[in-house]
Structures are given as structure tokens and as C-alpha cells.
């Protein structure tokens, strides 16, 4: 199956083309911008559809940074 044959599920008119997009999302009140994210973009309405795998990877990255921030802000025990 080729991506060229995918019809946009939003407008049912445009074709979905594989593009690298800049994905931005709000995570814990912060704007997280991830450049060069592979996505299917509709050439008519501009709808961006991200692969499940990509979404999982993105949320995994956020989870890691969240975890890292937590351990970085560990309280020091007073002497
Ligand atoms: Zn569309």
C-alpha cells in the first residue's frame, strides 16, 4: 500500500502526502516543539496525521524529560 493513495479522513477530498513537519504541543503548561516529525499532510485542508508509532515516541520523549526533571529537582537532605 502506498501513501499516495491515502484519502484525507477529514475532508475526504485531499490526498495525504508524507512530509516532515514541526510538531508542537502543550505539555504541563509548556510548549514543546519537535522539528522534523514524519506525518501525513492533506494537500487540500492541511490536516496533519501523525503515525501511532510517532505519537508513542513523542509521548515517550516527554515522559523521559518529565522523569529527568523530577530527579533533577530532588530535594537535598539537610545535614
Ligand atoms: Zn483534507
Which tens digit of pLDDT belongs to each residue from 18-66?
Answer: 999 999 988 889 999 999 999 999 999 999 999 889 889 888 877 776 5
- Kindly state whether residue 74 falls inside one of the protein's structural domains: no
Q: What per-residue confidence (pLDDT) applies to 62?
A: 77
Domain count, the chain: 1
- Kindly state whether residue 73 falls inside one of the protein's structural domains: no
- Kindly state whether residue 76 falls inside one of the protein's structural domains: no
- What's 35-47 look like in SS3? EEEEEEEECCCCC
- Compute the distance from residue 2 Cα to the ligand 1 centre, in Å: 17
- Which domain range does residue 38 map to? 3-67
- Compute the distance from residue 26 Cα to the ligand 1 centre, in Å: 24
- Compute the distance from residue 29 Cα to the ligand 1 centre, in Å: 29
Domain containing residue 43: CATH number: 3.10.20.860
Which residue has better confidence, 56 or 5? Answer: 56
Give the span between the Cα atoms of 76 and 24, in whole angstroms.
34
- Compute the distance from residue 33 Cα to the ligand 1 centre, in Å: 23
Instruction: Please tell me the pTM assigned to this model.
Output: 0.65
- Compute the distance from residue 30 Cα to the ligand 1 centre, in Å: 29
Amino acid at each position: 500500500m502506498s501513501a499516495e493513495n491515502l484519502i484525507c479522513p477529514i475532508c475526504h477530498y485531499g490526498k495525504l502526502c508524507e512530509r516532515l513537519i514541526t510538531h508542537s504541543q502543550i505539555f504541563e503548561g509548556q510548549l514543546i516543539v519537535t522539528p522534523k516529525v514524519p506525518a501525513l499532510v492533506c494537500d487540500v485542508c492541511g490536516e496533519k496525521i501523525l503515525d501511532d508509532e510517532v505519537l508513542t515516541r513523542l509521548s515517550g520523549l516527554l515522559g523521559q524529560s518529565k522523569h529527568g526533571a523530577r530527579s533533577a529537582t530532588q530535594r537535598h537532605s539537610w545535614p
